[in-house]
Structure 1
Amino acid sequence: MLQQIRKLFEQIGRGADVEVSVDKDVRMISAALLAEVATVDQKLDQRERATLTRLLQSHYQLDSSAAETLVTEALAHRDRATSLYEFTQTVNAQFSDREKYALVLQMWQVAFSDNVIEPFEEHLIRRVAELIHLPHGRFTRARAEARELRQREQRDDPKGMGKER
């Protein structure tokens, strides 16, 4: 996944024709980073996948099919990932401070979706936050906000009977 994105940005840098739009590139970068959180522990919980899909659908105003396709593509190419730098470099170039915060918040939401924060998940999110220059206070605020959102979801639907998780 990271290699494909690197190749894409090399094409953009050379002025080559690129078939995908900048919006799609940003969506794929977000999807890839969220998918990395969901799979960093080498297992993909259905709640994590459902949260990942829901977040992308909501944030990028996608229909459910487009969001699921984006998630599937991000997960299918995960094995090719080599470095976070290519992603975070693009995030730094194209995301506002508010969008960076939203990305880290979404990463935390994916991590909290299975009710267990694995050390690998926390490390990955912390590393991304550092690479995108998100101040530590905003990093911890995003974590607290994601925890609060998860607790609210569980209060509103204690048996998980509503939305798919």
Structure 2
Amino acid sequence: MLQQIRKLFEQIGSGADVEVRTEKDVRMISAALLAEVATVDQKLDPREQETLTQVLQQHYQLEAAVAHEIVREALSHREQATSLYEFTQTVNEQFDEKDKYLLVRQMWQVAFSDDVIEAFEEHMIRRVAELIHLPHGLFTRARAEAREMHGGENSSD
């Protein structure tokens, strides 16, 4: 599995056509987008990293060690991606509306985990939602659900 993860990130980094056809690749795309939210402000809060790992572990029913490795790979290779389009194109091809909604909600969960929604984080999530053609109503519902899951508080609202 690690070879497939490395191959995916190498393809993304080289600008090559990314062959994404397996569940493992979908997990890496999700991890990469969640890692982007966690690091878009140029710092990685441990709470964001932990939430990222937990979200992947729960959503994809992964062993803890596998989830940690996927997150480690996603974080270490995030600089190789040249645009969100590389990830969102795969999301559009492989995710149905429910999966897109869950992905955006997970992105909000990561953003809320450090108790502050940075402008960069909100912009990133909004841009991904637009690129994956998630209706605005589902975008706002995802945010509200993630806020509720976090405890309903956010200092930047």
- Shorter chain as denominator, the TM-score bin is 0.7 to 0.9
**Counterpart residue identity of residue 137, structure 1:** G
> Of the two, which has the highest radius of gyration?
1
- Aligned Cα RMSD in Å? 2.1
Q: 1:132 to 1:3 in 2, by over 3 A?
A: farther
Give yes or no for contact 1:113–1:150 (8 Å, CA) kept in 2. yes
* Cα distance, 1:10 vs structure 2: 2.4
The equivalent of 1:59 in structure 2 is: 59
Query: 1:28-84 deviations in whole A, cap 9, x for unaligned?
Result: 000000000000000000000000000000001100000000000000001112100
The equivalent of 1:4 in structure 2 is: 11
Q: 1:2 to 1:82 in 2, by over 3 A?
A: farther
Greater shift, 111-120 or 74-83, is seen at 74-83
The equivalent of 2:84 in structure 1 is: 84
* Cα distance, 1:147 vs structure 2: 0.3
Paired residue secondary structure (2:17): helix
Give yes or no for contact 1:56–1:67 (8 Å, CA) kept in 2. yes
Number of residue pairs matched by the alignment: 146
Give yes or no for contact 1:88–1:128 (8 Å, CA) kept in 2. yes
* Cα distance, 1:124 vs structure 2: 0.2
4+ runs of 1 displaced by more than 2 Å? 1-12
Q: Percent identity?
A: 68
The equivalent of 2:118 in structure 1 is: 118
* Cα distance, 1:90 vs structure 2: 0.6
Q: TM-score, normalised by structure 2?
A: 0.86
Greater shift, 21-30 or 41-50, is seen at 21-30
Q: 1:103 to 1:117 in 2, by over 3 A?
A: same
Q: 1:134 to 1:151 in 2, by over 3 A?
A: same
* Cα distance, 1:7 vs structure 2: 6.0
Give yes or no for contact 2:88–2:132 (8 Å, CA) kept in 1. yes
Distance across 2 between alignment mates of 1:94 and 1:9: 18
Distance across 1 between alignment mates of 2:44 and 2:95: 27
Give yes or no for contact 1:2–1:84 (8 Å, CA) kept in 2. no
Query: Is there any run of 5+ residues in structure 1 with no aligned partner, and where?
Result: 13-19, 155-165
